[in-house]
Amino acid sequence: MKAIVKISNLSKTYNTGDQALKNIDLEIYEGEILALLGPNGAGKTTLISTICGIVSASSGSVTVAGHDIVSGYRITRDLIGLVPQELTLGAFDTVWNTVSFSRGLFGKKPNPAYIEQLLKDLSLYDKKNNALMTLSGGMKRRVLIAKALSHEPRILFLDEPTAGVDVELRRDMWRLVRGLQESGVTIILTTHYIEEAEEIADRVGIISNGELVLVGDKKTLMHELGKKQLILDLKHPIVDIPESLAKYALEISDDGNQLTYTYDTHSTRTGITALLQSLNEAGLSMKDLKTRQTSLEEIFVNLVRSQA
Amino acid sequence: MNFQAIRVIYKFEMLRAWNTLLQSIASPVISTSLYFVVFGAAIGSRIEQVEGVPYGLFIVPGLVMLSLLTQSIANASFGIFFPKFTGQIYEVLSAPISFFEIIVGYVGAAASKSLILGTIILITANLFVDLEVAHPVWMVTFLILTCISFSLFGFIIGLWATNFEKLQLIPMLIITPLVFLGGSFYSVNMLPPVWQTVTLFNPVLYLISGFRWSFFEVADVGVGISLMMITIFLLSCLLLVWWMFKSGYRLKQ
Ligand SMILES: Nc1ncnc2c1ncn2[C@@H]1O[C@H](COP(=O)(O)OP(=O)(O)OP(=O)(O)O)[C@@H](O)[C@H]1O
Ligand SMILES: [Mg+2]
């Protein structure tokens, strides 16, 4: 796959002394959906802002479609659309005017037909003459998306697009994102919600404390780092785990009805057979058993915890 | 050159005034009329003439400059400060625009508004007195140079200001006194000699003097010096704003 954005050794220290980014190396592939995950203050917004030209890097470089973002800013910025995290919009402007304004800023000739279609796609068309301050938060989010798409960018950054957004808008948004991807647009989004990354992204990057801890294909990531759990429902509740089962590091539920065994899918021996035999020997009988894959969330929490 | 960007910024800024049209037109008309009633009629009836010019006429150039300076600064500083304050500036920063284009858009709009304002004031003044302009070309040149320089200066203040207080600080504490003490309402020759010398350090004096000369051919200082001073001021502002953008001053973190 071809990299459309190349970030090399990028660092950012704010005037306040906060080091928000530490030697980030990342390639973003053309046409992919990349989700950046990370806790508050991890540096996600700083990373995006640097690529878009809002924050200047302290060291390192970024190229977009082969052009440096500083020396070739006209070309790189032309390719990029940004939906910021905060709902920063004017008050008195109308929806139509603000979206047309954005298109003009990016040097594109007015194209009312395109803007009309864009507003229709985002269910904003009937609000086109409304003043921005009369819109709800979710609608403002849509307006920001329309502004970001107004100049037909090839790369779209969405900084926490689903913060404060209801289920329906979220579904609309994912539909839009998939549609954009089909038309060849590369999409980078940040989120706190792991399910979101799991649902929409092709690749996932995890940022913590200004470092890119991990980046990889979503499926591989979950497979490689994922632990599986075997959940055993007992016929009769127990109070303590018998001595003979200590080596399996089982977890017991509060009511004593359920035992959980965690194992690594990649090790040659999962230990399941032995465990079942030991359970049998200890005289415990089971009602049911099931397995469960660790979610990205757990991977994420583990990683961030080990970072700290 | 990103002409579309200049066009939309300019249009957006002009529209901002259009939305408050009544205020944009009514306030200069009313304040000019008030100045005429107070200075022209009440005081003017006692002074009668300054350097051979009837007092009512004499104060017109000063009145125009007073409004132009304050409004250019207010308009341009607010135009860039506000998006910075609300965060909407992100869009301008992430767009393929050079600093020169940003300036042409914002400062161009502020200067245009001032120019319109100056015209409105001159028309209003003409209702009270019979205005005659000795050197129309020079008059327009001074008008345009002033609008551009002080809009640029306002733009710099808007970039520099980090809060509303700072935004008001320089116009209130520096510009307004300088305009009032720069010979808007009197000739420098009417002051005691010591104060005449002090006044020569007031840059606004040169502006008003030159502008007044284009109407009546009377001036406190030579018109060449006036022109030179305003050009120097304009160039300094350009240099300063160039440096500010170059270093990302208060715009980019
Ligand atoms: N303008 C700024 N000036 C100084 N420090 C800043 C600035 N913006 C961000 N920071 C600091 O940089 C670090 C990274 O912030 P950033 O906004 O990039 O995090 P984030 O991952 O986007 O967080 P969130 O999930 O809360 O949006 C934080 O420590 C933050 O305090
Ligand atoms: Mg953020």
Q: Which atom of ligand 1 is nearest to the CA of A160?
A: 27
- Asked whether residue A30 carries a pLDDT value surpassing 70, the answer given is yes
pLDDT at A297 over 70: no
Nearest by CB to A104, which of B4, B87, B248? B4
CB contact under 8 A, A105 and B95: yes
Stretch A166-185: mean pLDDT: 90
Q: Is the complex ipTM higher than 0.90?
A: no
Closest CA to B53 of B134, B138, B137, B163: B134
Which amino acid would we find at residue B3?
F
Residues whose beta carbon lies within 6 Å of some atom of ligand 1: A 14, 16, 18, 20, 38, 40-46, 85; B 253
Instruction: Read off the pLDDT of each residue in A212-231 and give the average, rounded to a whole number.
Output: 79
> Which residues are registered as beta bridge partners of B53?
B50
Cβ-defined contact of B86 to A90 (cutoff 8 Å): yes
pLDDT recorded at residue A247: 84
Q: Calculate mean pLDDT across residues B137-146.
A: 92
What's the whole-number average pLDDT of chain A? Answer: 88
Tell me the mean pLDDT in the region B199-214. Answer: 87
Cα–Cα distance for residue pair B33/A195, rounded to 1 Å: 67
b (16+ CB within 10 A) / e for B95-128: bbbeeebbbbbbbbbbbbbbbbbbebbbebbeeb
The pLDDT, as a whole number, for residue A291 is: 83
Whether pLDDT at B72 is above 60:
yes
| CA A239 – CA B207 distance, rounded (Å) | 93
Tell me which residue has tokens 């800013």.
Answer: A73
Query: Which residues fall within 8 angstroms of residue B24, CB to CB, at 6 or more apart?
Result: B17, B18, B113, B117
Over residues A81-110, the mean pLDDT reads: 92
Say how many C-beta atoms besides its own lie within 10 A of residue B214's C-beta.
22
User: In the structure, what pLDDT confidence band is assigned to residue A100 with cuts at 50, 70 and 90?
Assistant: very high
pLDDT surpasses 70 at A308: no
Report the pLDDT value the prediction gives residue B34, as an integer from 0 to 100: 87
pLDDT of B139 above 80: yes
* A52–B5 C-beta distance less than 8 A: no
User: A227-293, what's its fold?
Assistant: Alpha-Beta Plaits (3.30.70)
Establish, for the pair of chains A and B, how many residue pairs have beta carbons separated by less than 8 Å. 73
Could you tell me which CATH class the domain A3-223 is placed in? alpha beta
**Of B47 and B62, more confident:** B62
Kindly tell me if the per-residue pLDDT of B252 is higher than 90.
no
Question: What are A217's strand-pairing partners?
Answer: A203
Which value, in Å, is the radius of gyration of the alpha carbons in chain A?
A: 24
Q: pLDDT higher for A159 or B171?
A: A159
B5 with A54: Cβ contact below 8 A: no
- Distance, in Å, from the CA atom of A64 to the CA atom of A76, rounded to the nearest integer, reads 6
Long-range contacts at B163-168 (CB < 8 A, ≥ 24 apart): B167/B77, B167/B78, B167/B81
Tell me which chain B residues have a C-beta less than 8 angstroms from the C-beta of A100: 8
pLDDT beyond 90 at B185: no
Higher pLDDT, A49 or A138: A49
Token reading at B156: 């710099």
Quick one: pLDDT band at residue A172, thresholds 50, 70, 90?
Answer: confident
pLDDT value at position B197?
Answer: 83
**A203-208 vs A155-159, strand pairing mode:** unpaired
Residue A273 burial (C-beta neighbours within 10 Å; 0-12, 13-18, 19+): exposed
The predicted pLDDT at position A256 comes to: 86
Q: Quick one: angle between helices B21-35 and B3-19, nearest 10?
A: 60
Q: What average pLDDT does range A189-197 have in this prediction?
A: 84
The CA distance from A12 to the nearest CA of chain B, in Å, is 10
Q: Where in chain A are the domains?
A: 3-223, 227-293
Question: Which residues have CB under 8 Å from A35's CB, separation 6+?
Answer: A188, A189, A190, A191, A196, A197, A200, A201, A203, A204, A205, A218
pLDDT tens-digit series, residues A113-163: 999 999 998 989 999 999 999 998 889 999 999 999 999 999 999 999 888
Nearest Cβ partner for A84 among B4, B90, B253: B90
Q: Compute the distance between CA of residue B104 and CA of residue A201 in angstroms, rounded to an integer.
A: 42
Output the pLDDT for position A226: 63
Q: How confident is the model at residue B106 (pLDDT cuts 50, 70, 90)?
A: very high
